[in-house]
Structure 1
């Protein structure tokens, strides 16, 4: 997963279980339809025993030991089984859990020739809550950058023909336990992960352009209908993990 959307129309977009003030803040947040690497996204987090809150963070975790507010590594996602021992994520795993709410996310159907993007969401249209990690980078001058990564794992509930691997989704109460550190091992998180019924539909290849950020990106389309959206024909060359 390398692109997702946060476009919550109202408080009804969320299943019961999250505190009302968090739901209200998310329902009032800026609607974003094409969040990619380096973009800002609304993230639920907690610090030093404080109550959870919401802030915008940079997508692509920057380790606090990095000399620059960037990293050459791919850190938009982190494998659940490897994250606790990874130098990139071990500190965040131990101390800084977060939740990334999503309307849904984009994933490429690689079975098609050429590949084509699909949008994955809950069948009931409610928000998905993805478990993640966050980090706070700060330089000597006091410049601060908060960034995050999304945890991923195998997921048999991802609709065919998409590969069955993606974000680790949790229920609202589990999300709160993740934020407060009650869940602290991969096995414990995986055991409490929950995927409500998911569905997926083809969308425009315009999602490849990060400058595009509007609701039309979520509209169903057919790969066999040509390029009415203005995108150009493309044979799949250059598709890499950043567009999976």
Structure 2
């Protein structure tokens, strides 16, 4: 699973990289993002326009009458998202990229580890999004989930699941609503773990009650 991540992002560079409009209300830098908080997503609409915008972390299907589904939706398994009622519609037509500086995972003895690239480039995490509103008088809200897969490499030494990473050459196809969903899911599921094997990782201090850049500093254990 992925229940915490860091995002101290260069929004103008991301917008230029993906040719997106940069919308207002983007989240401030955070090193301890948890479900239900606002996150940045890169999405493509049906007309081909791309948007760097904000979403709530925790997908709510458009048809749901309530936000409280009774189960967590901040993660979705890439192996089953296309067939799960909660995620199927988004998996077929609303695939997004969730940029992150790095993410955290906890070992069985509750020690947090931080995973990141060996560079300042953002991780491109595979996500899904869905528009939802409580009633006809309420504004629409974009909600999102992070896709996970079986852990490999260093991640597998800490936890059995990890976020799905998107290779640069699959980013456009992933976001395109007209792409064949089964095909692009299969390619990302196959190629993403190669990127995960290259990530660096190190133990960090407990995250509780903090949100500062020092959270990602390595410690000795």
Q: TM-score, normalised by structure 2?
A: 0.85
The structure 1 residue matched to 2:181, chosen from 179, 184, 193, is: 184
- Which residue number corresponds to residue 152 of structure 1? 148
CA displacement at 1:160 relative to structure 2: 5.8
CA displacement at 1:191 relative to structure 2: 2.9
| Change beyond 3 A, Cα 1:10–1:189 | closer
Checking the alignment, whether the CA contact within 8 Å between 1:77 and 1:151 is kept in structure 2 is: yes
- Which residue number corresponds to residue 219 of structure 2? 221
CA displacement at 1:35 relative to structure 2: 0.7
Q: TM-score, normalised by structure 1?
A: 0.77
1:190 alignment partner, SS class: helix
- In 2, the alpha carbon distance for the partners of 1:215 and 1:76 equals 23
Runs of 4 or more, structure 1, over 6 Å off, are: none
Q: Is 1:123 the equivalent of 2:118?
A: yes
- Which residue number corresponds to residue 104 of structure 2? 106
- In 1, the alpha carbon distance for the partners of 2:95 and 2:3 equals 20
Listed one character per residue, the Cα deviations across residues 70-105 of structure 1 (whole Å, up to 9, x for unaligned) are 432111110011111111101111111100011100
CA displacement at 1:53 relative to structure 2: 0.8
Checking the alignment, whether the CA contact within 8 Å between 1:78 and 1:149 is kept in structure 2 is: yes
My pick for the range that moved more, 94-103 or 180-189, is: 180-189
Alpha carbon RMSD of aligned pairs, Å?
Answer: 2.4
1:58 alignment partner, SS class: strand
- Which residue number corresponds to residue 163 of structure 1? 159
Counting matched residue pairs gives 211
2:69 alignment partner, SS class: coil
| Greater C-alpha Rg | 1
2:153 alignment partner, SS class: coil
- In 2, the alpha carbon distance for the partners of 1:159 and 1:126 equals 19
- In 2, the alpha carbon distance for the partners of 1:120 and 1:201 equals 7
- In 2, the alpha carbon distance for the partners of 1:31 and 1:142 equals 28
| Change beyond 3 A, Cα 1:77–1:160 | closer
**1:59-98 paired onto structure 2 within 5 Å:** 59-98=57-96
CA displacement at 1:117 relative to structure 2: 0.6
Checking the alignment, whether the CA contact within 8 Å between 2:131 and 2:140 is kept in structure 1 is: yes
| Change beyond 3 A, Cα 1:127–1:135 | same
| Change beyond 3 A, Cα 1:183–1:189 | farther
CA displacement at 1:3 relative to structure 2: 0.3
1:150 alignment partner, SS class: strand
Q: Structure 2 regions of 5+ residues with no counterpart?
A: none
- Which residue number corresponds to residue 3 of structure 1? 4
- In 2, the alpha carbon distance for the partners of 1:20 and 1:6 equals 20
